[in-house]
Structure 1
Amino acid sequence: MELGYIDTPEEWRDLFIMMFMVAGTLLFLLGIIIALISGYLGVNILNRIRSIMKEYVRPAAKNMKETTENVKGTVAFVSDNAVKPVVKAYGVAAGAKRFVSVASKVAGRGKKKEQ
């Protein structure tokens, strides 16, 4: 098998070795280029995410914090002005009821002893 200047099998072997070396080098460079492009795109995506976080998420979190503080104030106001007086009134009523029941039992025991 002769092709111009290639006469022997050793020359064919050397030609294929050189071709595979060139192909391997090109694939290696292509891999490096793809890795660099992927890295650049990854950094670009991270920068976009950071800008979105700064632009939208932080103000929303700040607004949520303010809303939470307002809710805490509202709960404290309702607790002080509506719930506590009702609880106190029910507590006084329950205490009075218990007092009457205990007093009536004590009074009933005293009458039984006299008879």
Structure 2
Amino acid sequence: MEWLKCGTEFIVADVIRWREPIWKPQPRKSKKPPTMIGHRIITGQISKIDRYGWVHIQVAACTVTPLPRWWHPIKPLEVGLLIRRRREKIGQGRVDRLPWSDESARAAIVGSRFLRK
């Protein structure tokens, strides 16, 4: 599979892949700084982008890489799970997307005046 770099320029129905950090769970009012315990590479299809900047993604695959100093197992996200992330936060993880079988159709959708970002 060939992945294309897209940053935050993705639309509904795109299949995207990005990397995000996993943080150690903490009590709500903890004074300690957050501790990163690993990374998660998520692949999923965008099902909805709402007007408030949230992207709704159905998980297709998830791999977890714990940091060497973290000894507890970290569970990956379940396949089929619907997750919600901010567009800007996804864009920080170097987003790649799968090319469509007909890229001219995607270009027509992106160029449409009815597409909301």
- TM-score normalised over the length of structure 2: 0.14
Q: RCO (CA 8 Å, sep 6+): is it higher in 1 or 2?
A: 2
Say which structure is richer in helix.
Answer: 1
The structure in which a higher percent of residues are strand is 2
Q: Could you tell me the TM-score, scaled by structure 1's length?
A: 0.14
